[in-house]
Structure 1
Amino acid sequence: MQSDRNLLLKIDKQQQLINSNRPFTNENILNLKEYYRVGLTHSSNALEGNTLTLSETKVVLEDGITIGGKPLKDHLEAIGHGRAFDFMWNLAQNNKTITESDIKTLHKYCVEPENPEIAGKYRMQSIYISGTEHNDKIPTADEVPGKMKEWAISLEKRRLVLHPVDFAIQVHKELVQIHPFKDGNGRTARLLMNLTLRQDGYPIVIIPSAVRHEYIQVLENAWTNDQDFTRFIYERVDEAQRELIRNLHLTPQNQA
């Protein structure tokens, strides 16, 4: 197994190859957007228990067709995530900042079709998350607005000193630990992580449901030591880069 440092060096080398092949054609960009839109929507929702398959998610997003025998809730989650993805994709193309308003808007789009009453709004009550031993560290409802304001303001300066992948990892971890919303925190955190990666030119990172147990465990461990979570996301970034390089047939000889 590669050390974390060696894996990050590999990520840097692969990113240099990807960047050397830019700009991508408009056709490639459009195809990538639709591929990631379906893939991230399916995987992120599946991590939360959504039963739509990848192909069913594609049909719901692209054709607006209802899948027989599947819950309405699952359809609404797919629609919401698709809208949130579109917002994230466009935001990444237009600027390299992240505001508190951006985070709330991501959440709003994501959960609005299913839960409009909580969309884009911080929770009004304290919460208890099953499966974690760190509920005492989660901010109370009264603490959330101030915590989020302070946290969002800190992101710009921290981004200047962290590796782009490390910054994305911290953003994901910390939003989950603040848990500012009544529901949809995990989906919003994964969208936010991908927003920061997209802003820095990295491909969309998908966490497949097949590694759900490991994902939950490393997130839990991250309360005290985020080394396992960091390694986990490094591996997902590596996979995403290699897939992009393979699918677009990127080579060093393509440099402009």
Structure 2
Amino acid sequence: MFVSIKLLKHSATIRSQFRAYNTRARDELLRKVYAPFKSLKEGSPEYKSLAKSGKVWEEYHKPGDDRPYLAIQATMVKELEEIDRWKQLLENNNKKRVFTTALINKYAHQSVGIEGNNLSIAQANTISVKLAKYVDASTLLPTEDANETIELRNHILVCKKLVEAALAPSDTKGLNETYVKELARGVLIDTTSQDMIERMAWGKRTKIGEYRNLPIRVRSNNLRIFPYPAEVPALMGRFFEWRNESIKSKKLHPLLAAIHIMVHFTHIHPFLDGNGRVGRCILADHLIRNNLLPVVFQDLERQNYLQMMSDAQDHNPEELCELALSTQLDMLRTFLGTD
């Protein structure tokens, strides 16, 4: 017993030292990222203007840098050409509608699963069928966790609307601020996150679907620096401008462009919760609009996904791009047949 207590105390000391190290490392990184503010008087007009611009965070992280994606594109020419041959067959809108609609439950189930939801794909299918008549969680899956049921219900409903919007005529507006805020509201409505955000948040109250009013961090990476709330509106405004210009330039294949758009969005992390789910909706939307399928990864572990996303935000998107490309190819071959 004496040894066990000693080991426990030692373990607690190590954890405490690790937390202290993480805190120091994060503080040092924050000082490095926001170093340009050192020369300004806090509270001055220049200080406030720079803070609201978001340019300090943006200049340090460069989320719109497409060079890593262009480098990957140069190494995947044959695979991307094969994807382009397959996607020509999806330009028949009937096929595209059938296939993308068939993937809604799987895509929604995978997306909430990445966030820790434990419901099964069979339960996702049950919810989808029952949604024709019911929306209340206690009716959809009465014996399961209500919040998990609501999360999955919400994502299925959001994906249904997303598919309809993405299948609309090509001149229909795509991604914009209103649409993204609607997605954020859609994935969180009636969940415990809504209660947390609207009733228990510190400072000025906000609502789901509105940009966050608090600084945030993620447990998976204490050294991931997201912009401060004051920076978010300007950063999101430039995000939409960057997205539109990137698409117009056609430098990146639509598959790689979709991944970059998702990574850029999640790096800003504009909402208090639901950023990952909204990011994956943005990914699906762009793929469908470009005659591709929303990627449903097979046997994807949450930690592996989080690591790939973190690497991509650090300008190392190779693993994420390779997985998305191979998955897209497998799905196109499965749905459209093989040679």
- Mapping of 1:110-129 within 5 angstroms? 110-114=187-191, 115-116=193-194, 117=198, 118-129=207-218
Residue 97 of structure 1 aligns to a residue whose secondary structure is: coil
1:108 and 1:8 map into 2 onto residues whose CA distance is 38
| Aligned position for 2:180 | 103
Report if aligned partners of 2:115, 2:302 keep a CA contact under 8 Å in 1: no
TM-score, normalisation: structure 2: 0.65
RMSD: 2.3
Report if aligned partners of 1:107, 1:120 keep a CA contact under 8 Å in 2: yes
Gaps of 5+ in 2: 1-71, 132-138, 199-206
| Aligned position for 1:17 | 86
Report if aligned partners of 1:97, 1:156 keep a CA contact under 8 Å in 2: no
Report if aligned partners of 1:203, 1:244 keep a CA contact under 8 Å in 2: no
Structure 1 residue 191: deviation in Å? 0.7
The equivalent position to 2:333 in structure 1, one of 239, 242, 246, is 242
The code of the aligned residue for 2:325 comes to: Y
2:175 and 2:90 map into 1 onto residues whose CA distance is 27
| Aligned position for 2:108 | 41
The equivalent position to 1:226 in structure 2, one of 302, 317, 329, is 317
Of 148-157 and 64-73, more deviation after overlay is shown by 64-73
Runs of 4+ in structure 1 over 6 Å off: none
2:204 is the counterpart of 1:135? no
- Mapping of 1:74-89 within 5 angstroms? 74-89=148-163
| Aligned position for 2:31 | none
State the number of aligned residues: 243
Rate the CA distance shift 1:109–1:222 in 2: closer, same or farther, 3 A: same
2:160 is the counterpart of 1:91? no
| Aligned position for 1:144 | 232
Residue 142 of structure 1 aligns to a residue whose secondary structure is: helix
Report if aligned partners of 2:90, 2:292 keep a CA contact under 8 Å in 1: no
Residue 143 of structure 1 aligns to a residue whose secondary structure is: helix
Rate the CA distance shift 1:8–1:143 in 2: closer, same or farther, 3 A: same
Structure 1 residue 80: deviation in Å? 0.9
The code of the aligned residue for 2:83 comes to: Q
Gaps of 5+ in 1: 252-256
1:167 and 1:21 map into 2 onto residues whose CA distance is 19
The code of the aligned residue for 1:97 comes to: G
Structure 1 residue 228: deviation in Å? 2.4
Structure 1 residue 29: deviation in Å? 5.1
Report if aligned partners of 1:18, 1:245 keep a CA contact under 8 Å in 2: no
TM-score, normalisation: structure 1: 0.85
The code of the aligned residue for 1:23 comes to: N
The code of the aligned residue for 2:276 comes to: G
2:303 is the counterpart of 1:213? yes
Structure 1 residue 22: deviation in Å? 4.1
Structure 1 residue 232: deviation in Å? 2.5
Structure 1 residue 211: deviation in Å? 3.4
Rate the CA distance shift 1:107–1:243 in 2: closer, same or farther, 3 A: farther
Query: For 1:89-140, what per-residue CA distance to the aligned partner results, in whole angstroms no more than 9, with x for missing partners?
Result: 122122363212111111121211324444211111001111215333x101
Residue 313 of structure 2 aligns to a residue whose secondary structure is: coil
Q: Which has the higher contact order (CA 8 A, sep 6+)?
A: 1
Identity of aligned residues (%): 19
| Aligned position for 1:69 | 143
Residue 205 of structure 1 aligns to a residue whose secondary structure is: coil
1:96 and 1:194 map into 2 onto residues whose CA distance is 15
Report if aligned partners of 1:43, 1:206 keep a CA contact under 8 Å in 2: yes
The code of the aligned residue for 2:211 comes to: Y
Structure 1 residue 49: deviation in Å? 1.0
